[in-house]
Amino acid sequence: MSASCYSFCVRRPIRPAFNSVQAVVSRGACCVCAQARNVKAKKPAAGSKHGNSGNTSGLGHDTEHAPVQKTVPLVSTPADADLEQNEGKFFDAVVKVYCIHTEPNYSLPWQRKRQYSSTSSGFMVKNEEGQRCLLTNAHSVEYHTQVKVKRRGDDQKFIAEVLAIGVECDIALLTVKDETFWEGVKPLSFGPLPRLQDAVAVVGYPIGGDTISVTSGVVSRIEVTSYVHGSTELLGVQIDAAINSGNSGGPVFNEVGECVGIAFQSLSGSDAENIGYVIPTPVIQHFLTDFRRNGQFTGFPVMGMKWQRMESHALRSAYKMKKEQKGILVRHVQPTYETAKHLKPDDIIMRFDGIQVASDGTVPFREKERIAFNYLTSQKYSGEQAVLDVWRDGQDVQLTIHLMRPRLLVPLHLANADPSFFVVAGIIFTVCTEPYLLSEYGAEYMSEAPVKLLEQLMHGERLEPDDQACLFYLCVVVLSQVLACNATLGYEDYCNVQVLKFNGTPVRNLRHLIQLVASCPDHYMRFDLAYKEVVTLQTDAVKDATASILELHSIPAAVSKDLLALLPELQHVVPPAAATAHAANS
């Protein structure tokens, strides 16, 4: 079986851990916060059904030749007291995070799903202004309705406020207003990026117990890594220390007690063992600096292009490159990015800010190491410039480009926002996103979802600059489902199909569709869909049908909260009573 990111938990024998502290060595999970969905405490984590029962006896596999255990004095020695005091300085800054989540219901976007709880880890730090705050994982507090934190050895939980969530880098910034929470604890300090085989210790509150847990290991690999929660690729550190459900957001220490990263995911499967991943300090500092500059997380910029390696000698010769020249070939530049004003297809990028780009798409990284080229762009901030040395038509050209956040036609996440929707009679319109496809078709959506929506997800792009009159970026509007009523008779089986045109006008986004419907002077409303299907409604019947649907299905209004400003324009298609009721509820 290939390795996957779905979790399971296996208890294994006790062994000496980092800094002479004993720890339970166990295997971890991707996005490893321990979730409780109507499950009693201390049950196996979701995913233990894979059949990995493990050895829970505390003995090694070879019990016949097990070494004889030495007798340890029960009286504490001064050395023991010093060790415990030393560790306490760091461990006291590690907290347990309790979160209540309420996720959107993408099938019924005006509702939320049943709430569930999770526990994870976090730790205290100080920002550059000296303000105290907490760091944890973004997936630990996604769609939170309440977040509480508890210190080590304390019986009181404190209400925490979420200041910022960086979905791409899977980091969240929290604070606690109660001053007693911070008393007597020294925040952790960050250390440098570790090196291969450096000893590390993962500290947190994983499943299997209520007290703090420590597991140890070494750094196995440092490279650009896939961040599963944010569907992006950033610098990551692979370690062989155990990362279990509940370790999410906990600090990873080096040998001198500095925090060198945040535990956030691990790889599981029959061909993967003890592969855990850590968010390193450069990514953490990028998140904190971004928040300090902008008051919010603005993300990691990209160049907005597709490229290919130039390892083929024939390919380099065809582009008249000299023997000593190296670089990557630009295949395509997305037209809505700033890069498109300067960079062209068939350009060869040889240097990025003076750093040589090799023909295999890597750049130098520390001593005798190389790393993927996109590491350089991830070190920048949105709006910053980069200087490219390009080989174009047999000549050297130097370009200055502006980097910007990704603008995807089908967003990979909603940054913890609620999905937008629009109700016309019984037709529910919404925006196609990756979470929407996951909700509709499950984990196998890449093989189960309609091929035209998958094509937009994998290869779709904006082909023109954003129209400021439409306010929203160009996106894929889908007919999610049709709620039965007289006005939609015969269309009840339509679902999950893209809306292409309204009365002959191409639909740019959901706000644009609402404006078109609101200003429709025609006797009929015609929606042209993918697969050349057509839905036609009588304009006069839409208003009454919409009012009936809103009341029957307890829908607060015909549009989502983010589109409330358009309600006055919809008076002839949306009942005023529904709009008034929704405004009162808001």
3-state secondary structure of 166: strand
* 541 Cα distance to chain centroid: 43
> Phi and psi of 513, rounded to 5°?
-60, -40
Q: What gap in Å lies between CA 154 and CA 228, rounded to an integer?
A: 33
Write the DSSP string, 423-440: EETTEEEEE--HHHHHHH
Structure tokens of 11?
A: 């208890």
| Angle 445-451-452 from CA coordinates, rounded to 5° | 120
- The set of residues, in sequence order, having a beta carbon less than 8 Å from that of 197 and lying 6+ positions away, is 218, 219
DSSP string, 30-47: SS-PEEESS--TTPPPTT
Task: Report the C-alpha gap between 377 and 233 in whole angstroms.
Answer: 11
Report how far apart, in Å, the C-alpha atoms of 233 and of each of 126, 236, 539, 566 are. 27, 9, 47, 37
The Cα 342–Cα 349 span in angstroms is: 12
In single-letter form, the type of residue at position 474 comes to L
- What residues are labeled active site? 139, 170, 248
- In the three-class reduction of DSSP (H, G, I as helix; E, B as strand; rest coil), residue 187 is classed as coil
Mutual orientation of helices 576-585 and 539-552 as an angle, nearest 10°? 40
Concatenated DSSP letters of 320-366: T--TT---EEEEEE-TTSGGGGT--TT-EEEEETTEEPPTTSEEE-S
Pairing of strands 348-352, 370-372: unpaired
Helix axes of 434-441 and 451-459: crossing angle, nearest 10 degrees: 150
Q: Do 359 and 379 contact (CB within 8 A), yes or no?
A: no
Q: What separation in angstroms does the CA of 226 have from each of 62, 155, 231, 495, 570?
A: 37, 37, 7, 32, 44
Q: What is the DSSP letter of 208?
A: T
Q: Contact, 279 vs 259, CB < 8 A?
A: no
Helix (H), strand (E) at residue 290: helix 281-294
The number of beta carbons lying within 10 Å of the beta carbon of residue 395 is 8
